[in-house]
Amino acid sequence: MKNRPRLLLALALLPLVNLSAQPAASFEERLRLLEHQVQILAGENADLRQQLGWNDRAVPVLPLPGGKETKLNIGGFLQGQAEFGRAADPRWNGVKDRIFFRRARIYVAGSFAQNFDFKAELDLQGNTLGAGTGQLARANEIYINWRKYEFANLRFGQLKPAFGGEALASDTKLFTIERSLSSDRLTDGRQLAVAVAGDLLKKRVSYLAVAANGNGSNVSANDNSRFQKSARLSFVPLATASDKLTLGVDGLWTEDTNLAKSDLGLAGNLFTGRRAMRGADLLWTHGSLDFNAEWLYGTFRPTGAVPAAKFDAEGWQVTAAYFVLPAQLQAVIKSESFDPNTSFGGDAIQSTTFGLNYYLRTEDIKIMLNYIDGRVPGSGTDGGRLVGRVQLVF
């Protein structure tokens, strides 16, 4: 052990010996490489400071999770809109040429290590096509989700019912500016509900089942102590690099009291009675072509027998979208029809939409232009309406 100090000294000097043994050119190359790496780090540090708004005078205040969540996101989107022309369908009755925000939403979402997700979204514009005044901010999508099992996620909150493929599609990813009239009139909006959803067979099959109050958004009361029930099943029979086909079927069953339902011939546009709804849809992507279609059908049994003790309403839409310039410029054509009462002939509301979508940065920055040629039986104000939108997702 008396030679231990010499051994330690030799080990300490070993790197210097090895370095001195290297040729001069190798040492200079290493020095230049080190200087280059320092320059890269300095540049990245400057970029990061700029992104954070950090200068030498003040340190930025960064938002931090208030709880113990492992992930926290803040986001939203804006959809500014301009409209000109006639009422292509009843949704634009009495609406003049205008500019407005169709939607302006902001949300906070996150997750916990214990398999819980959450989201709280605020809509600042009221989310309506009507010529509203004094619209106030209101809650939109809010939920708590337990996701331990892929085949059974349990969710509680303000949710969309499991009915209508177009209705369930994201507002930021539609091929046309507005959904079809049949989707607006035959499906229901978000409402307080509980849901179970899951993926099966390597995500080839998905399901969603929802039980809700049935009163619409931001209503904590239940109109008749019964719950609206809806269910949806989707199947992906084809999924390759260039082709994907998704088929969906769904239904909704409920008993309503004074539920607002327009364009069905109801007294005061309020429905009290029983509804049974069903639908089917498909979405096919083939290279630059996207094709989707949907059929919706509903049986209404109003307690007041107005417009009849029982009547059926039906609607459909077919949409084709093709990228003229890959991932940048997309041409769209859509044909749709809504029949508020299949017992009568000649009362179907029809329209054709011609559109262009320009993607500056995928869906994050998108400009849309639609011309809607509407045909409303008995109306003297139907015809063409030009609608433009700019969308920013943040």
Q: Domain spans of the chain?
A: 17-62, 79-99+162-393
Judged against a pLDDT cut of 90, whether residue 1 lies above it is answered with: no
User: What number is the average pLDDT over the span 329-336?
Assistant: 98
What kind of fold does domain 79-99+162-393 have according to CATH? Porin (2.40.160)
Pairing type for strands 191-200 and 205-212 reads: antiparallel
d(CA 61, CA 367): 34
372 CB burial (10 A radius; 0-12, 13-18, 19+):
buried
**Phi, psi at 49, each rounded to 5°:** -60, -40
Q: What percent of the chain has pLDDT over 70?
A: 90
Q: What are the angstrom distances between the C-alpha of 177 and each of 126, 154, 354, 373?
A: 17, 32, 11, 14
Q: Which residues fall within 8 angstroms of residue 28, CB to CB, at 6 or more apart?
A: none
What is residue 24's predicted lDDT score, i.e. its pLDDT? 53
Identify whether the C-beta of residue 353 lies closer than 8 Å to the C-beta of residue 176.
yes
User: What number is the average pLDDT over the span 260-272?
Assistant: 94
Block residue for tokens 């051994």? 7
pTM: predicted TM-score of the whole model, two decimal places = 0.83
Q: pLDDT tens across 284-325, in order?
A: 999 999 999 999 999 999 999 999 999 999 999 999 999 999
4 CB burial (10 A radius; 0-12, 13-18, 19+):
exposed
**Phi, psi at 189, each rounded to 5°:** -85, -175
Judged against a pLDDT cut of 70, whether residue 108 lies above it is answered with: yes
d(CA 53, CA 168): 38
d(CA 329, CA 360): 9
The lowest-confidence range among 308-317, 350-359, 376-385 is 376-385
Pairing type for strands 329-339 and 98-112 reads: unpaired
Find the radius of gyration of the CA atoms of the chain: 29
User: What number is the average pLDDT over the span 108-123?
Assistant: 95
Q: pLDDT tens across 187-235, in order?
A: 999 999 999 999 999 999 999 999 999 988 888 888 888 999 999 999 9
Q: What type of residue sits at position 96?
A: K
d(CA 313, CA 304): 17
* Structure tokens given for 78: 């804006």
355 CB burial (10 A radius; 0-12, 13-18, 19+):
buried
Q: Which residues fall within 8 angstroms of residue 187, CB to CB, at 6 or more apart?
A: 161, 163, 164, 166, 167, 252, 277, 296
What is residue 52's predicted lDDT score, i.e. its pLDDT? 67
DSSP-based three-state secondary structure for 134: coil
Judged against a pLDDT cut of 90, whether residue 125 lies above it is answered with: no
Identify whether the C-beta of residue 138 lies closer than 8 Å to the C-beta of residue 217.
yes
d(CA 47, CA 53): 10
User: What number is the average pLDDT over the span 137-157?
Assistant: 95
Judged against a pLDDT cut of 90, whether residue 179 lies above it is answered with: yes
Instruction: Based on DSSP, count helices (H) and strands (E) in the chain, helices before strands.
Output: 4, 16
Identify whether the C-beta of residue 82 lies closer than 8 Å to the C-beta of residue 394.
no
Give residue 2's pLDDT band: very low, low, confident or very high (50, 70, 90).
Answer: low
Residue 203 DSSP label: T
DSSP-based three-state secondary structure for 183: helix
What is residue 135's predicted lDDT score, i.e. its pLDDT? 66
Judged against a pLDDT cut of 60, whether residue 258 lies above it is answered with: yes
Judged against a pLDDT cut of 70, whether residue 341 lies above it is answered with: yes
